[in-house]
Amino acid sequence: MAEEQLWAVHEKTMAGSNEPKRGPDEASTLDLKIELALRLLAACRLCGRRCKVNRLQGERGSCGLGSEAFVAEHYVHIAEEPGINPSHILSLYGCGLRCRFCQQSHLLGTPPGGAERLSPQSLSSFTMKGARSFSFMGGNPDESLFGILQFLHCLPEGWRLPVVWNSNAYGTPETLSLLHGLVDAYVPDLKFFSADCAQAIASASDYPAAAKVSIQNMLGQGVPVIVRILVLPGHNDCCHLPSLRFLAGLDQCNLFVSVRGQYCPDGSITASDAPLCRRPTREEIANVREETAALGLATAWPDPD
Ligand code: SF4
């Protein structure tokens, strides 16, 4: 079938409340999602870069990834927001956005030789003791959607931890549509609200517009959405306070805000990148938290900073 026909079937399927009845040889909704993710890879539109490269034939876009997902790290993290904590983190290589301050810059590009391909066998190496949720992150997970869907397809019967999608909010509507029904909670980082800042730090002037659409799409799926705001030094007026005002205008039913104060100059930040070459001040962090409260936004946790 042509891709647009598959999308039409997907839209119809997702509009129904239950998985349609099917014969033993008929495709499931997850099969359909995997096929659509494959089509997206052929002219890649998995993240906001929309490189349109054919990752199935070895072409690489900004994320540096081919068609498969590669495991970077996995561990149980005990400092996530209370609703998802403790969470088994599965960190994957590759990110199309590549903020210059990224603390995980070693995970952003093409996986090193010998990196583990995500496969059903990966599950046996994950120690999930004590985990209440299973978080996909990176790098960024959107770019590895095809491999992740294949992994989910092979999970054993009865395996059930709530799935958390921890992303940079730069996934395309197509990617979010394929995640609909599979993700139990989203944790997007709302990084910038100014196109100039997004361009200067991540060469992505379209990031604010894309992130707004992404967060609205996440909320439209009726699951909790915990929006993280990492306070960047000197970016309250241009980015964080307008971000909060945007969030205050959305449906509040499943929306939570998590203000993070742990920014450190990292990645490729140098002394010439002022003000990004310092930590945020206590006043800057407090200012974002006070505005969150003043706007009546629900917070996801008492921040331990
Ligand atoms: S995932 Fe994003 S950065 Fe990577 S090839 Fe696709 S569109 Fe480009």
The residue extents of the domains of the chain are 3-10+27-60+67-294
pTM score, whole prediction? 0.95
CA of 219 to the centre of ligand 1 (A): 24
**Cα gap 209→244, rounded to integer Å:** 15
pLDDT at 104: 85
Task: For ligand 1, pick from 65, 93, 140, 203 the residue to mutate: most ligand atoms within 8 Å of CB.
Answer: 65
Handedness of CA 109, 207, 178, 219 (dihedral sign): positive
So what's the pLDDT on residue 143? 98
Contact 93, 72 (CB under 8 A): yes
Residue 50 CB less than 6 A away from ligand 1 = yes
The residue behind tokens 């490189």 is 51
Distance 148 CA to ligand 1 centre (A): 15
Distance 107 CA to ligand 1 centre (A): 15
Digitized pLDDT (tens) for each residue of the chain, 305 residues in all: 999 999 999 999 999 866 666 766 778 999 999 999 999 999 999 999 999 999 999 999 999 999 999 999 999 999 999 989 999 999 999 999 999 999 888 888 889 999 999 998 999 999 889 999 999 998 999 999 999 999 999 998 888 899 999 999 999 999 999 999 999 999 999 999 999 999 999 999 999 999 999 999 999 999 999 999 999 999 999 999 999 999 999 999 999 999 999 999 988 999 999 999 999 999 999 999 999 999 999 999 754 44
What pLDDT was estimated at residue 11?
A: 96
Of the candidate CATH numbers 3.20.20.70, 3.10.20.30, 3.40.30.10, 3.40.1160.10, the domain formed by 3-10+27-60+67-294 belongs to 3.20.20.70
Give pLDDT, residue 106: 85
Q: Is the CB of 128 under 6 A from ligand 1?
A: no
Q: Ligand 1 pocket, 67 CB below 6 A? A: no
SS (H, E, C) the chain: CCHHHHHHHHHHHHHCCCCCCCCCCCCCHHHHHHHHHHHHHHCCCCECCCCCCCHHHCCCCCCCCCCCCEEEEEEEECCCCCCCCCEEEEEECCCCCCCCCCCCHHHCCCCCCCCEECCHHHHHHCCCCCCCEEEEEECCCHHHHHHHHHHHHCCCCCCCCCEEEEECCCECHHHHHHHCCCCCEEEEECCCCCHHHHHHHHCCCCHHHHHHHHHHHHHHCCCCEEEEEECCCCCHHHHHHHHHHHHHCCCCCCEEEEEECCCCCCCCCCHHHCCCCCCCCHHHHHHHHHHHHHCCCCECCCCCC
Q: For residue 87, list its beta bridge partners.
A: 77, 133
Quick one: which atom of ligand 1 is closest to the CA of 49? 7
User: What ligand 1 atom has the least distance to the C-alpha of 60?
Assistant: 5
Cα of 111 from ligand 1 centre, angstroms:
15
Contacts of 294 (CB under 8 A, 6+ apart): none
Quote the pLDDT of residue 160.
81
The tokens for 102 are 């990224």
CA distance 144 to 130: 26
Q: Give the pLDDT score at 16.
A: 80
Is the Cβ atom of 42 under 6 angstroms away from ligand 1?
A: no
Taking CA atoms only, the protein residue closest to ligand 1 atom 6 is: 44
Ligand 1, atom 4: nearest CA belongs to which residue?
A: 63
Q: Which atom of ligand 1 is nearest to the CA of 142?
A: 1
Spatial separation of the C-alpha atoms in residues 176 and 116, rounded to whole Å: 26
Q: Is any atom of ligand 1 closer than 6 Å to the C-beta of 63?
A: yes
- In whole angstroms, give the CA distance from residue 210 to residue 293: 25
Kindly give the number of the ligand 1 atom that is closest to the alpha carbon of 96. 3
Question: For the stretch 255-271, what's the b/e string if a residue is b when 16 or more beta carbons lie within 10 angstroms of its beta carbon?
Answer: bbbbbebebebebebee
pLDDT in the model for residue 105? 85
**In testing the pocket of ligand 1, which one of 38, 53, 176, 206 has its CB within 8 Å of the most ligand atoms?**
53
